[in-house]
A and B are shown apart, each in its own frame.
Chain A
Amino acid sequence: MPAIFQSALHPAGPQAASISHLWWLMFWTCSAVYVIVIAALLVAISRRRMDTRPSDGTLRTSVVTAAGITVVILFGLLFASVATGRAVASLGAAEALVIDITGHQWWWDVTYENPTPSLQVKTANELHIPVGRQIRIQLKSSDVIHSFWVPNLHGKMDLIPGRQNLLWLQADKPGVYRGQCAEYCGVQHANMALTVVAESSDDFERWIMAQRQPAPPPSTPEQQHGLQIVERGPCAMCHNVTGTVAGGRTAPDLTHVATRSTIAAGTAPNTRGYLAGWIADPQHMKPGAKMPSTGLSAEELQAVLAYLETLR
Chain B
Amino acid sequence: MIRGVTIVLLAALPLAGCERETRRYQELPAASSRPSSTQVSDLVPGLPTPSPPFLSPYQENAYGIAEGKRLYSAFNCNGCHAMGGGGIGPALMDYKWIYGSSPDQIYSTISQGRPNGMPAFGGRVPTQQIWQLVAYVQSLSVQVPRDAGPGRDDDMSARKSESRLDRMLPRTTGHR
Contacts and interface: CB of A to CB of B under 8 A. Distances in A.
Contacts of B123: 232-234
A293 B27 contact: yes
A283 B125 CA distance: 16
A238 interface: yes
Interface in B30-78: 32, 70, 74-75
A236 B124 contact: yes
B126 A250 contact: no
Contacts of A290: 70
Interface in B85-136: 123-129
A92 interface: no
Given A143-B154, A161-B154, A237 B25 contact: no
B125 to A, nearest CB: 6
Given A250-B74, A287-B25, A292-B27, A237 B124 contact: yes
Interface string B136-165: 000000000000000000100000000000
A294 B32 CA distance: 11
B173 interface: no
Given A283-B25, A288-B25, A293 B124 contact: no
Contact of B23 (A232, A236, A288, A295): A288
Nearest to B124: A237
Contact of B126 (A142, A187, A289, A294): A294
Contacts of B126: 234, 292-295
Interface string A261-287: 000000000000000000000010001
Contacts of A295: 32, 126-127
A233 B125 CA distance: 8
A142 B126 CA distance: 23
Contacts of B129: 292
A238 B128 contact: no
Nearest to A284: B26
A271 to B, nearest CB: 24
Given A142-B154, A294-B126, 5 more contacts: A233-B124, A287-B25, A289-B25, A292-B128, A292-B129
8 contacts: A161-B154, A187-B23, A237-B75, A237-B125, A283-B26, A292-B129, A293-B126, A295-B127
Interface of B: 23, 25-27, 32, 70, 74-75, 123-129, 154
Of all A-B residue pairs in the complex, the 10 with the closest CB atoms, nearest first, are A250-B74, A283-B25, A292-B126, A287-B25, A283-B26, A237-B124, A288-B25, A292-B129, A234-B126, A293-B27
